[in-house]
Amino acid sequence: MTDIERFIAQGVRRRDAYHVPSGAFPIKLDAMESPYRLPIELRDRWLHALRDIALNRYPSPDHYERVKARLARSAGLAADTGVILGNGSDEILQNILLAMAPEVTVVAPTPTFVMYEQIASILGRRFVSVPLKEDFGLDVGALKAALVRHAPAVLFLAYPNNPTGTLYPEGDIRALMEVDDTVVVVDEAYHPFAQASFLGALAEAPRLMVVRTLSKQGLAGLRFGWLAADRRWITELDKVRLPYNVSSVTAASIEFALDYADVFADQAARLRGERGRLYEALRGQVTVWPSEANFLLFRPPVAEDAERIHGRLKEAGILVKNLAGAGGALRGCLRVTVGTPAENTAFLAALAQAL
């Protein structure tokens, strides 16, 4: 053991850093980003909105409060519900676990968003995964049993789920919210594409938290996410949040984005339309799962071909996510983000060639 290793926590030492592929791809469909930039006429207005920010000063609490109030208003939150801002929703997920007592077990149905396990492991928390059913639905019985057995527990549910795109039935989630000694975190990263939400349930559910991000709707570069929950949770989470975690530039940009919410809603509607077209086209060639998000999970007819197909698409300048290495339920699976109509057409042509 070298000197450095002696200092590093076991949960950190035994894993790799989160891998982000480098290189420029003309068609980038691997990370659920929106293919649409801010319309050109809005970019100048955005720059204008940023012009007077005092970059010599730390972000002010009043500015954060303004952003929170606007988010709360646009989401129609009740008075007892509070909001916390994050440098991406990843940071919020991390802050939730930083604030939790060591005896709280982290539970998630899998396969799901990898950060739930990654953050738990890095923070040295116990992580229990409960396999999804074969159709990627929730195994409510098995989840309930795990929550009871490992109480107190925090349950992470991506709604819809990444990487499967599944929108779990509302009744399944409500049944899990009833389990004693459990906090349910509903992660609504893909809300613009599913248009279903648990924000409305917050007022009557003091053990529920809802997390949102603006990353998937055209603002991934800003790094901004938010959480809504009973104000008592917000008080505790605020203690682990670093003081100026959201920059003044981001805070002002979010206010700007809220002024133009209709532009982002229109882009999301276009992507929902394209998702339908992509799904129908893929259905004839591969196994593809229905998705309520801005991506589709699919498996080529010969699962062992996934690696080769991923490589062929790359050679054609198209990057999708290769999940084949994850094995298990994701054996031979690839995930494609919905792009512009032209990008999707190019992807379908290149896939047909590779198949």
Ligand X SMILES: Cc1ncc(COP(=O)(O)O)c(C=O)c1O
Give the interface with ligand X as residue ranges (CB under 6 A): 32, 88-90, 113, 158, 162, 187, 189, 213, 215, 220, 225
Residue 30: CB minimum distance to ligand X, A? 10
Give SS3 for 40.
helix
- Please identify which residue in the block is written with the tokens 């920010």: 53
CB of 51 to ligand X, least distance (A): 26
Per DSSP, 16 falls in state P
Nearer to ligand X, 189 or 351 (CB): 189
Are the CB atoms for 126 and 117 separated by under 8 Å? no
Q: Which is nearer to ligand X, 179 or 189 (CB)?
A: 189
Nearer to ligand X, 187 or 274 (CB): 187
Of 168, 103, 174, 104, the closest CA to residue 137 belongs to 168
Tell me the one-letter amino acid at 133.
K
| Residues near 232 by beta carbon (within 8 Å), at least 6 away in sequence | 206
- Give the nearer residue to ligand X in terms of CB position, either 210 or 282: 210
Question: For residues 104 and 214, which CB has a smaller minimum distance to ligand X in the complex?
Answer: 214
Q: Which CB, 213 or 250, lies closer to ligand X?
A: 213
Task: Choose between 53 and 220: whose C-beta lies nearer to ligand X.
Answer: 220
The residues pairing with 153 across neighbouring beta strands, listed in sequence order, are: 105, 182
What tokens appear for 191 in the block?
Answer: 């809300």
What minimum distance in Å lies between the beta carbon of 220 and ligand X?
Answer: 6
Least gap, CB of 89 to ligand X (angstroms): 3
Which residues, at least 6 apart from 115, have a Cβ–Cβ distance to it below 8 Å?
18, 90, 93
The Cα 13–Cα 97 span in angstroms is 19
- What Å distances lie between residue 315 and 26, 82, 341, CA to CA? 11, 48, 20
Q: Long-range CB contacts (< 8 A, 24+ apart) of 137-142?
A: 137/166, 137/168, 137/169, 137/172, 138/109, 138/168, 138/169, 138/172, 138/173, 138/176, 139/109, 140/172, 140/175, 140/176
DSSP secondary structure string for all residues of 114-165:
THHHHHHHHTT--EEEEEPPTTS---HHHHHHHHHHT-SEEEEEESS-TTT-
Choose between 90 and 305: whose C-beta lies nearer to ligand X: 90
Residue for token pair 């195994």: 139
Which CB atom, from 220 or from 354, has the smaller least distance to ligand X? 220
Q: Which is nearer to ligand X, 118 or 350 (CB)?
A: 118
In terms of phi and psi (left: phi > 0; alpha: psi -120 to 50; beta: otherwise), the region of 328 is left
Closest contact distance (angstroms) between CB of 146 and ligand X is 20
The minimum distance between CB 142 and ligand X, in angstroms, equals 21
Smallest distance, Å, CB 1 to ligand X?
34
In the complex, minimum distance from the CB of residue 298 to ligand X, in angstroms, rounded to a whole number: 17
Question: Cβ of residue 285: shortest distance to ligand X, in angstroms?
Answer: 25
- Tell the smallest beta-carbon distance from residue 219 to ligand X (Å): 9
- List of residues 6+ apart from 68 with CB closer than 8 A: 82, 83, 84, 85, 226
Nearest to 328 by CA among 64, 136, 161, 138: 136
